[in-house]
A and B are shown apart, each in its own frame.
Chain A
Amino acid sequence: MSPKTLYDKIWDAHVAHEADDGTCLLYIDRHLVHEVTSPQAFEGLRMTGRTVRAPDKTIAVPDHNVPTTLDRASGIIENEESRIQLDALDKNAKDFGVHYYPVSDVRQGIVHIVGPEQGWTLPGMTVVCGDSHTATHGAFGALAHGIGTSEVEHVLATQTLIQRKGKNMKVEITGKLAPGVTAKDITLSVIGKTGTAGGTGYVIEYCGEAIRDLSMEGRMTVCNMAIEGGARAGLIAPDEKTYAYVMGRPHAPKAAQWEAAMAWWKTLYSDDDAHWDKVVTIAGEDIAPVVTWGTSPEDVLPITANVPAADSFTGGKVDAAKRSLEYMGLTAGMALSDIKIDTVFIGSCTNGRIEDLRAAAAILKGKKIKDGMRAMVVPGSGLVRAQAEEEGLADIFIEAGFEWRMAGCSMCLAMNPDQLAPGERCAATSNRNFEGRQGRGGRTHLMSPAMAAAAAVTGHLTDVRDMM
């Protein structure tokens, strides 16, 4: 047999039909659904008299619109459109009989955090969701990617997707990370190197010692942002850490089925002489704590650097950088660490897991946030929130001056009331710094949870290594 990559193996195990021209029907093992990209898809089913083919493989969670304030249990959602969208998901989940975690359920949270937490996401699966950050689930060695609403409808009706196979890209992070450097710094540094279109048409497999050393939480952070590098999916081969994370989760296989699953999972790695269409290698030792300065996730620099000049770039990037600097209100040459921050947001599907909250709390313990700073922590799920409370992390955040919120997407994309005002500058642990992403005119700097916590204390972008 010819050598295969991990992506090749998962792909081959899921082709339900291949046409003469290479167009395939890829079978989907898990379909995650949230309230924003699904209403039109369910409506499409109703209009054509179609049903959900595999409701037992379909999991619905509201996350984008839900308020994260503590009083949300009162059930009042002030924005009528948000309420209609949440009501639609509630009705669709019940009418079509899919698994469902409503806002009132402690297991509710961001769909990409709930899936792994509940054991829905397993190695070797195909996982899709009407959300680009579905790439997150690749951390388990699952082929996971975002789809549009028409494709959501297609998967609901047929449990398959019409696909052509992508190309294989290997991103290897060798060696060890230095202290203060995290999974977020890895994934941002990769995008900084390859650009936001560098992965277009590829599925990325992340490998190397620094990736192996990451926890499952860290691996999810890395894969989550594969899409920001243009790749629909990012993968990490499963190993003992993966099995340990999955074992015992509510929907993970048990007993004999666990043994059978393990036997297959252990075959899920890229063969030594597999073919790669593109290879990127970065030395772990060379990665520094990074922040973004512009309005594209590729605008990444070490915290010790200065704001770049637009004319230091080439091609279309010159105008883009000019536009970014103007939007961000920055002057070329100023030290990144001199940039003052108004708001800190810790959360999102990128960095809303327990380890992220631990990393931020470790910096904040015994400290206060800067006077006038607005700071919030939004746990990625109700269970992350409960665990953080049990571990005493919530008290550290609250004593430092952070708001301690309920689970949801929150200020990552500002569809709920958590938004930036025009000109407001935010240190965010989320994944996109696009113009207006966190609110019209809002200015976003992406970074790790520890770096965001450090900025909350000092009031400006800060090298977390100075506080360790």
Chain B
Amino acid sequence: MEKFDKLSGIAAPLPIINVDTDMIIPKQFLKTIKRSGLGVNLFDEMRYDDDRNEIPDFVLNKPQYRDTQILVAGDNFGCGSSREHAPWAIKDFGISCVIAPSFADIFYNNCFKNGILPIALPQEQIDLLMKDAEKGSNARMEIDLEAQTITTSDGDVLTFDVDAFKKHCLMNGLDDIGLTMEKAAAIDTFEAAAAQSRPWV
């Protein structure tokens, strides 16, 4: 997995609540057996009309947001299905950080498995960042995962919380499975005990 430490980039405003995974990546793009190439279909139904022309009003189609790396969005971002295609599409587009007042659980976890940092902040701080993001390519936000800070284009510094284990994995690009396999003995022990206590499983 790609490491995440610092990020300085354009932030795009998406002031919509309950952005669901069907919006992020509609079901017709779930038929792939790969993880790559989904960026072009990120927010597909909001981004293109019926003839596959770009809808100019949609934020990621605007010239100043084409190289967006940070997304600032409304409450309950990523609700709906467990499809990891959602973070795959976000990452493939080039976005590595999503900031919102809250996230759906499964989406939130999926982000960390794919080198994306989801940051939850109180609504008033989101309002501030949303305003900053509206400045377009003139405004770059800086994210420092180690320090757990966001610096706006005006130099305001906000701090955020992140689970220490998830932070460690993200900063070092660690493979969860490899880490868990180091604990194989504990799993073996558990499995043997469970086979005695719950043999019907």
Interface residues of A (CB under 8 A from B): 13, 16-17, 19, 21, 23, 25, 27, 29, 36-37, 39-40, 43, 48, 50, 57, 64-65, 79, 81-82, 84-85, 88, 122, 124-125, 130-132, 145-151, 153-154, 157-160, 162, 164, 196-197, 200-201, 227, 230, 232, 253, 257-258, 260-261, 264, 296, 315-317, 319-320, 323, 413-415, 422, 432, 434-437, 440
**What is the total number of residues of chain B having a CB less than 8 Å from a CB of chain A?**
56
Residue of chain B at shortest CB distance from A17? B186
Contact between B199 and A316, CB atoms less than 8 A apart = no
- Residues of B contacting A84 with CB < 8 Å? 31, 33
B75 touches A131 (CB 8 A): no
Contact A146 B82 (CB under 8 A): yes
Cβ-defined contact, B105 with A158, below 8 A? no
| Cβ–Cβ contact A316 & B15, under 8 A | yes
Contact yes or no, B165 A19, CB < 8 A: yes
With A21-B165, A320-B17 known to touch, is A149 a contact of B84 (CB < 8 Å)?
A: yes
| Chain A to chain B: the 9 pairs with minimum beta-carbon distance, closest first | A253-B200, A150-B113, A81-B31, A16-B190, A146-B82, A148-B110, A316-B17, A39-B33, A148-B84
Least distance between B199 CB and chain A CB atoms (Å): 6
Q: Which residues in B have their C-beta under 8 angstroms from that of A154? A: 176-177, 180
Q: Is the CB of B106 within 8 A of A37?
A: no
A436 near B45 (CB under 8 angstroms)? yes
Closest to B26 in A: A436
B109 within 8 A of A: yes
Whether the pair A151, B113 counts as a contact (CB closer than 8 A) is yes
In the assembled complex, B83 has its CB within 8 A of some CB on chain A? yes
CB closest chain-B residue, reference A231: B105
- Asked if B106 contacts A147 (CB within 8 A), the reply is yes
> Which B residues touch A316, using CB under 8 A?
15-17, 74-75
In chain A, what residue has the closest Cβ to B33? A39
Which chain A residue lies CB-closest to B180?
A: A158
Q: What CA separation (Å) do A201 and B106 show in the bound complex?
A: 10
Can you spell out 28 A-B residue pairs with CB atoms less than 8 angstroms apart? A29-B201, A36-B83, A81-B31, A85-B31, A122-B201, A132-B81, A146-B82, A149-B84, A150-B84, A150-B114, A151-B109, A153-B177, A158-B180, A160-B187, A162-B176, A164-B163, A201-B105, A232-B105, A232-B106, A253-B200, A261-B200, A264-B198, A320-B18, A320-B74, A413-B81, A436-B26, A437-B22, A440-B50
**Chain B: minimal CB distance from A322 (Å):** 11
Given the interface pairs A149-B84, A159-B187, the reply to whether A435 lies near B45 with Cβ below 8 Å is yes
- Whether B26 pairs with A37 at a CB distance below 8 angstroms is no
Shortest Cβ distance from B46 into chain A, in angstroms? 8
Complex CA distance for A415 and B183, rounded to whole angstroms: 39
Is the pair A16, B186 in contact by a Cβ cutoff of 8 Å?
yes
Beyond known contacts A197-B76, A434-B20: 5 more, CB 8 A cutoff: A16-B189, A17-B186, A124-B198, A316-B75, A435-B22
